[in-house]
Structures are given as structure tokens and as C-alpha cells.
Structure 1
């Protein structure tokens, strides 16, 4: 684990990368990878020139590798077990972590590829008989309406997510876009004209896309590779994060069709100087970053220093990024049942503790109405859930240090507002300390004495959870204005980046007593105005990411001018969004339903393994057969483990493949 490593980008942000001539710092492995990607292959055309039919065949070939070579990619290098060791887990928790990592990678990648194939088949089928052409569900179920500002909004869906009981829509501005969007479009046109004048538009056929791998999740970089290679037709060089070098193994098996054709190469992290030299190489025309805002800034500084003939806007246009967010969890006003409050708190606690709080979508800020009659009851329920659900170790470099910095700043305001909530370790064999536990910070109310905005203005990326009360005295009291608190108070507060950091995703929790969320005009207006790329209702906001593999999108909101959560999006496989502002809206089950996410009720590894059989099968029947074989094999191994001498053989054989 390298010191001073940034949270995801694999770049030390204590200094600008580089420091010498790029050619002398570029490792031979990096140089060979670039040569492979830029070489002319007589048997394979350049990726940029591939026909849609060829891209369709390529996607199907990758999907076949995911299905048919499951045992190979799932077990290569024992990578899933390495993931569990990195996260400081042992015993049954480590087994579940390893099996869950394999299942998640298979589900996410398989979902993306199936949607890509469906979208491309639909596009190619437009020339066929209209009566025989099947319209994808997301495009077939479309509705439009005008929000309270007179802007027309188009909602595509709702479409079911892979997780039962959850649906989503893609909301986008229609032709009569807002004034802000028109201004942005004019600015974009001026930037493009300037780039053309200065020769900044790169020759896409002669450049590659560099993907700087994510360090906190195993599947993120693989989707970034597919999005660049299949959707944007760019040859890709992926530099794996120093925390997860073992991902080169499973990626190599699944993406072998891309590698064989010279469309993809992989390298591991060597040093900050080597990364700087790689960014400075003239063959790099695009860079995708998954990391922090500082990581993106460092990348831009290196690109600017190595491309002095380009304007700042031209350099900025070379970078796409998925950055962080001080993710809000909004409690709507209204009357909740005891069960609804408890379930909302369960989802928030899970969202805070998952992966040690080291996700770009980790719950960080709980927003409640100041005059809400149930706020005391809510606080008790939240504290109970944080103490009930086990705590994963804070394995990610810098997470505890960031927590300490935030607490130090909060202590200068009022130490009595800081509460440590202790809980047992997620892994019985792993010892944790108070530094791993979640700290709840009471921030107060904006505009009032003693208000402490510190935990809202940075991404904690660790075990910090802030509570802020908004002044709801100006909200309407009439029945027709029952969502006025969201429209007039919550949305303006969250959209102002002087109040809270980022625009990636958020969750809104609302009681059944206020009616069906799809039928409430005020809720509809609030969703239309909210400038976040993903909004989940009564659900963990992480499901916003999974809309991107099903036809939706994931990324910071386009109208957020500071780009704190990044630039560009992944997904949009049906081409719904284009350059318009958009968001994915997830509808979870009512809060009366028991949440499917709960660290106190961990899913056994065998369940993940059975689900993997279905995820890596093109049919339900095939998945069922695979699941039955798996259970039978495990049963035989378990029985044999009690027989002397034979148990050693079976244990070794079973270890060959995690699944």
C-alpha cells in the first residue's frame, strides 16, 4: 500500500506528477502497451472505423467470455480473496466479500453488455419493418410534463432494475431547455470553435483513451473500459490502481476479445513519475479519472504542462471523470410510522458503513426539517441502526486522516455536537478501533448561530455522518402544498454548491402518508429541479449507478458549474441524453418494506455463488442447472471433509475456483 496515495486515482496529490522528461520516465511496459494500441493490425481495423455490426459481434464475444470462462476469470490469481484481505476481513465475512465481489463484477458487466447489445440491435433494426421492430422498454414508456418553471421534462421508463421491487426513469430536458442549458450550449460551441482554431481537436484515430483505475471497487474500471471502447470507439490503456493490481487477471480473461484485436492494453501502477510520463505521452488523447477532485486537478495540470499549445478549455475537454460527493440523505416532512423511520435509518446506516464509507456515493449528510415533530425519534432510530449494523474496517488510505481533519475543525466549533457511535466489527476475526467507527456531527441550521458547515463542504470518504436541520418555516401548510418543503427549502439548499459539495447522487425518504410519489405534483417539481445526476426515492442511492448499465446514466449533474462530481457520464446506451442535462430517478419499495441492504444480516457466500450461476447464464434454465451442480458439489465436498485423507484433496480442488 503506497504512502500518500490519493483515494482512487492512483496518483499522489501531495505533489504534481512528473518531474523529468517524459520519455526517460516511461516504463518499458507502458511503452509497449502504447505501441500495441497505436500499431496498425492488418487483420483488425481501427476501433474508430468499426461498423455497428462489428461492434455488436465484439460485445457478444465479450459477453460469451464472461459466461463461458467464468471459472477462469473468477479464480485467476485468487483476486477476490485478495480483495477481502485488502479490506481487512477474515472468516465468513471474507468469504462473503470474495463471493460478493465476483457476483457484482459479473452482474454489472453482464448487464452493461446485454443493454449495449439490445441498444445496438434496436438501432440497426430501425431500417427493418417497423411492425417487427421491438422497442426497448425504457424508450417505449415515455411521459412528458412541464415543471413549476414552465420547462418541459421528458421521463423515460419506468424500467425494472435487476434488484426486485426497484424501477427507474431517465429524466431529461426537452427541446425548450432552460436558459442555463442554452447558455452552456453556447459556451460549448465557443469552446469547440476555439479548439478548432488552435488545432486542439485530437485525431481520434491516432490517439488512445487512458483509464486511471478506481481503487475502491473492482468493477468500476471495467465498465469505464467498455464505455470507452464499445460506446465511444476508443482504444484503451487501463492503468490499474496500486491498491488493486490483481484486477489485471480477471480483466484479461473477460476482455480478451479487445486485447487480441489490439483495442485494449493493461499496465499496473509503477510510480507517480511514471503516471505523469504516461499522461504526457502524445498518443494519449483522452483520460478518464475515477477519483477525487484533487486527482482530476493534478491530471489536468500534467496534461496542460505537456500540451502548452492547447488552451485550458481544450485540455479540460480531454478529461472525463467520475468524482465524489458529500451525498445527501433527505428526510421529507410528514408523518412516518415507526417501521418507516426504522427502515429509512437502516438504509442510511448501510449507505454510510458500506465499504468503510469509501464510496463516491457514501451517505454523508442527513437533511431534516427543523420543525419536524419526529426528528427526535428519527435521531434515536439512526443512532440505534448505526450501533446495530457492524462496522467494516477503514482500509482505504487516508480515510481516517480525513475523518480526523473534519473532527478537528468541528471541535473548534463545538465538541459537544460530535458523537461516536460504536458497533461490533463486521469481521469477528478483525479487530477495529474507535477510528473505524462512525462519527455523527450535528451541524445545526444554516443562517443561525453555531452553524457548522465543515462536514458538508468536502467529501469525507470515511466514517463521518453529518446532520443538518433546514428552516422549514416558509413551507406551505395546505394539503396541495405538502411538498413545498422539498421544492422551496431542500432543492435550493442542495443545488447551491456553497452549501454542500458535489452533485453525483442523493436519496429522498418520504412516508406513505403523503401519497404515491409518482402522483405528487410537488415531488415531481422537486425532482425536476434537483441538480443531482442520480436521485433515489426510499432507496440506497447506489442504485443510481446500476441504472447506467440498464440504459440510464451515472455522473455529476451537467448544470453544476464547478464540476465537483466530475465531467461527463457513463451509460446512456440508448442515446437518450446526448448533451442535455439529465438524471436517473430510482423508485424503491415503500418504506414499510424491509430493506434488502443490512450489514447486520449478511448474505452467506453460498447465496452469492448460486446467484453467480444465474448471472453468468444466458437463460434461467441454464442458471438453475448451474446452481444445482454448485450445491451438489459443495455438499459432496462438505461430506468428504469429514473423511480422513480425502478432505485434503477436496479442499485443494475446491480452492481452484472461488465460485
Structure 2
């Protein structure tokens, strides 16, 4: 590690020791105002943010794919800052952030309705909804009383936290900083992933109010800088986003050292660690009677779940679970092949991607090579076995598998839940695609499927990425993992209402886009979602959504609708 990098680490931590004292005396009203100012700054610097991300990822600046950078970057940051500011405003007035929220019972749990939360949500995300399931035993009264987490006693700070930033989705690092600071009341040093170092000027501008008050510092550097930070005596907590392998290297070491430490229960890193680590996300397709348009649209949906951001998403779908007895299976898989092949070309910007694709080809030499240059792999003969490479580890590249299991109706849904829980590595997210008629026909068996899936986010006729984009939803693995079997991580982030006792988030969307949704009886007016990889106006829609999130005004809605309808 360079001397300058070491000096930067020491300087950042020293500053935060003083900053923690100032943060402890910063009132809830002042904190609210800091977040409101940051939302304005996010809007002001959104174009620079997106331009930098486009450069990092080698995207064509004129491509609709730029919409991904708007929506998964400044859009979700601005939206989250708005909700967090409202949460602090509630707390400052002595009210629970959940005071006006709708609850309902789901099986033997309490669920909190987190989408839609306003008329704007109902208009912009017509037909989409989300709920957070609380853990068994958490009552409505307890949920209201405990919402606010560490901000219930803002003067009681919790030391210094380190956030090891992600290198794929450009809002992950600043959102994780917000959660450390607000949910846990820890001042934060953010270590950027080297891939995102070009965003340092933008992040410094957006986070300026927190930097000025002494609550946040940003450093850059490689693995040695990260190692020095997490082991530093002044650091009380570590949060990271990445892979389970990286987590274990930080917590346990590497090679023989890691083996011995795990055997002895003697971690190299002894301070508390929370994490979001991805996994092998399944998409379960429920057999039904679909029209040709349904088959094509849902194939594009699957292609998006795999290929959004080039496949470099912690919650990218890596394999279908599909019924071998579904009479439309072959037609659907043909549409999936077409959709994957036809998805827009982009650079393989994430380090090691080509090597991981090559590794998949070694494991599956008969894989179909699709798309420009044959760089996207489809493996259609994956056994439902945890020994399968495509199910046991995250490829983090455009590699997709198909797992066929027998059955229809309730027998299929029960088998699909077992396969997803027992065979696929990780518990971050799972997608379910099911026609409304199939959901109705399954009845309680469909509800059993949702309950039985042990995943942090479950998306029904939506992609789990919608959960990431919803500030009031939680984001993280299913609870119960430990540092010696970390799977998809420990703890949650986002959760802008600062709820405690979270089990999972469940997202629902329309099976069909408008106008077919209305014609077929769905109460949804949403056209093709702007996050679809083949959406023609995603860049314009994403930019307009970001402008709205940074400064919500009804006068912005017609422009958003006009762009979205052309997508």
C-alpha cells in the first residue's frame, strides 16, 4: 500500500472520531435538512453521475441502455433520500415512520405495505406493489414503536463503520453509506471499489453535506487499503457488498489460513460484519396457458433478469426452474433464446467476466452461444443438483441455465420451492412468473410457494430488481446466515422507514403490459417497464424519472408517461 493511501486512511478515521461527536449533537431536524439538500445535489449532479458510469461501463452514450444508469444510479438515490428525510421528519415530530402506513396479515405474520405509498407511485408504477413481511411474533404495535432504529436516540452514536463499496451498480455504495449512518447511527468511511474510482468527484459532491458535518469520508485504493481499514482499531463495524468468496477472504483469510481459522472458529476479522453478497437467483415459471404475446413478453422479462447491466448484478437470474410437463415449454424456451440473442450488445466491462464465461464453457461444453460474438451462454440441460457449477456459484456474467423438473399445479410449485431452497446457492432473490389464471387456480398452493421460498426478496411477475429500486422495501438475504456460512449475506439495507424485525420483501407486478393487461382484466396501466433491456426509450424515461425523484412535481408526469409509452 502506498504511503499516501495509508495517510488517507489515517486521516479519514481521525476526522471521523471528531465527526462522530458532531454527529451526536446534530438534531433530527438538521439531519433531515442534510438529506433534503443531498437529494437536491443528486438531481444537480445526476448527468455527471450517469456520464461517468457510461464511461466506466463502455456504453454508447446514445444507447437506450443508458437508462439503466439513470434508474439504478441517481434515480434510486434521490428517491431514497426523499423517504429517509420524511422518516426523520416523522421522528422529529414524535411520530412513528409507520404511523400512517397500511398493515395486513399474511399467514401468521404482519406485513407492511411499502408500494404504492402515494398517488405518484400509483400513477408511475401502476399494477406494481410491494410488502415487507415482518418476522413471526412482531406485532403492528411493536413495528410502529421500533421503527426508526438508531434514530430513536440520535445522540447515541455507534462509532465508525466501514463501507466497502460495490463495483457494479453505482448507487450501492452511497445507499450503503446512508444506511450505516442513519439506521445504525455510525459515522462512515466509504472505500470505493477501484472500478468506481472515477465517481469520486460525483460522490463527493452528492455526499458533501455529510462530509462537511464530519459524518462521512471517502477513500480509494485496492485490497490492501480495504484490509487496513477493516482491521483498524478505530473501526467498530464493517459492511460490504460483493461475493461470498470476498467476504470469506476478509473475515477468515485465504488458503490454509482460512481453513484452519474456520475449523477453530477463530475469524481473522473479529468486529461485526454485515453484507450483501448475491447468489444464484432462480426464476420459477408456473405452467399455464399463455398467448404468443405472453410468451414473447415474458421471455424478454427473463432476458432482462439475466442481462440487465450485462449480467453483473448480485440478483441477476442465473437459471430458470421450469416444468418438463408444460406443453408450452419448448415454445417459451425458444422465445428466451431469441430474447437473449437479440438483447443489445455491450462491453464486458466487469473484471474477470470473460474468464468466468470460459469457465462455464469448460463445465458445459454443449452450451449454446448466443448474441453478438456468442458471448452469452445458455445451458439447457442443468440437473437439479447442488453439485452443478451453474447452481452452486454465482457466475456474474451472461451465463444462463435451464432446470427442468416434472409436475404441474401444486406438485410443481412444491417441487420448485424445494429446488430453489435446497439446490440453488444463496438467498438474495427469486422471481416467479405466473399468469393470473394460474395463480387463481393454484389458490393456497401459490401462497404456500411464496411462503416456502426462503429468499430476501421474492418478485411475482416482476424482477427482484424492483425491490432494490423501492426505497421503503428491505434489501438483503433471507435472515439466519452466519459468518461461517454467509450465503447471500447478513442484515438488510435500504429500508427507508427504518423498520426492525424484517424477514423478506415481496414484490408483485402485472403479468402483461398495457394495454393487454387491461384487456385481459388486470388492474394495471404500466407499459413495458423502462428497466427492460429492449426498452427503446429507457434513457429518456430514466432521466425524467430521476428529475422527478429529485424534485417531485406533477408537471413532470406527462413527459414521463409520453416517454414510457414509446418504450
TM-score (norm 1): 0.72
- Contact kept in structure 1, 2:475 and 2:493, CA below 8 Å: yes
SS at match of 1:238: strand
Match of 1:274 in 2: 225
- Per-residue CA deviations over 1:317-348 (Å, capped at 9, x if unaligned) read 61111111111111012322222222111101
Structure 1 residues 444, 619: closer, same or farther in 2, change over 3 A?
closer
SS at match of 2:505: strand
- Contact kept in structure 1, 2:286 and 2:432, CA below 8 Å: yes
The equivalences for 1:577-656 within 5 A come to 577-578=500-501, 580=502, 582-591=503-512, 593=517, 595-596=528-529, 597-603=531-537, 605-621=539-555, 623=556
Match of 1:231 in 2: 183
Structure 1 residues 244, 337: closer, same or farther in 2, change over 3 A?
same
SS at match of 1:503: coil
- Per-residue CA deviations over 1:180-239 (Å, capped at 9, x if unaligned) read xxxxxxxxxxxxxxxxxxxxxxxx857311111111121110100111112211111111
| Alignment length (residue pairs) | 519
Q: Distance in 1 between matches of 2:133 and 2:463?
A: 19
- Contact kept in structure 1, 2:320 and 2:401, CA below 8 Å: yes
Structure 1 residues 489, 246: closer, same or farther in 2, change over 3 A?
same
Match of 1:553 in 2: 474
- Per-residue CA deviations over 1:489-540 (Å, capped at 9, x if unaligned) read 11112111xx1111101110001322459x9322222111210001111112
Structure 2 unaligned blocks of 5 or more: 140-155, 518-526
The equivalences for 1:82-93 within 5 A come to 82-90=52-60, 92-93=62-63
| TM-fit CA distance, 1:604 | 6.1
Match of 1:443 in 2: 381
Match of 2:89 in 1: 121
- Per-residue CA deviations over 1:127-174 (Å, capped at 9, x if unaligned) read 69xxxx9933xx32x22143xxxxx12222262256343111112233
Match of 2:392 in 1: 457
The equivalences for 1:54-203 within 5 A come to 54-67=30-43, 70=44, 73-74=45-46, 78-90=48-60, 92-93=62-63, 96=64, 101-102=69-70, 104-126=72-94, 135-136=99-100, 139-140=101-102, 142-146=103-107, 152-157=108-113, 159-160=115-116, 163-175=125-137
SS at match of 1:243: helix
Q: Does 1:382 align with 2:331?
A: no
Match of 2:302 in 1: 348
- Contact kept in structure 1, 2:428 and 2:477, CA below 8 Å: yes
Q: Does 1:38 align with 2:21?
A: no
Match of 2:444 in 1: 521
Bigger shift: residues 287-296 or 599-608 = 599-608
- Contact kept in structure 2, 1:536 and 1:586, CA below 8 Å: yes
- Contact kept in structure 2, 1:48 and 1:234, CA below 8 Å: no
Structure 1 residues 616, 56: closer, same or farther in 2, change over 3 A?
closer
Structure 1 residues 343, 508: closer, same or farther in 2, change over 3 A?
same
Q: Does 1:27 align with 2:3?
A: no
Q: Which of 383, 404, 428 pairs up with 1:469?
A: 404
SS at match of 1:353: helix
Match of 1:400 in 2: 354
- Contact kept in structure 2, 1:46 and 1:205, CA below 8 Å: no
- Per-residue CA deviations over 1:560-585 (Å, capped at 9, x if unaligned) read 5633111110033334442x5x1111
Structure 1 residues 493, 47: closer, same or farther in 2, change over 3 A?
same
Structure 1 residues 483, 316: closer, same or farther in 2, change over 3 A?
farther
Q: Distance in 2 between matches of 1:145 and 1:236?
A: 37
- Contact kept in structure 2, 1:613 and 1:626, CA below 8 Å: no
Q: Distance in 1 between matches of 2:283 and 2:411?
A: 18
Structure 1 unaligned blocks of 5 or more: 1-17, 147-151, 178-203, 424-432, 476-481, 632-659
Q: Does 1:287 align with 2:257?
A: no
Q: Which of 488, 505, 514 pairs up with 1:565?
A: 488
Match of 2:153 in 1: none
- Per-residue CA deviations over 1:36-89 (Å, capped at 9, x if unaligned) read 1112x6xx844346443443333233234335xx0xx235xx553332233222
Q: Distance in 2 between matches of 1:625 and 1:513?
A: 33
Structure 1 residues 444, 360: closer, same or farther in 2, change over 3 A?
closer
- Contact kept in structure 2, 1:222 and 1:251, CA below 8 Å: yes
Q: Does 1:530 align with 2:453?
A: yes
- Contact kept in structure 1, 2:53 and 2:199, CA below 8 Å: no
| TM-fit CA distance, 1:113 | 1.7
- Contact kept in structure 2, 1:346 and 1:595, CA below 8 Å: no
SS at match of 1:589: coil
| TM-fit CA distance, 1:458 | 0.7
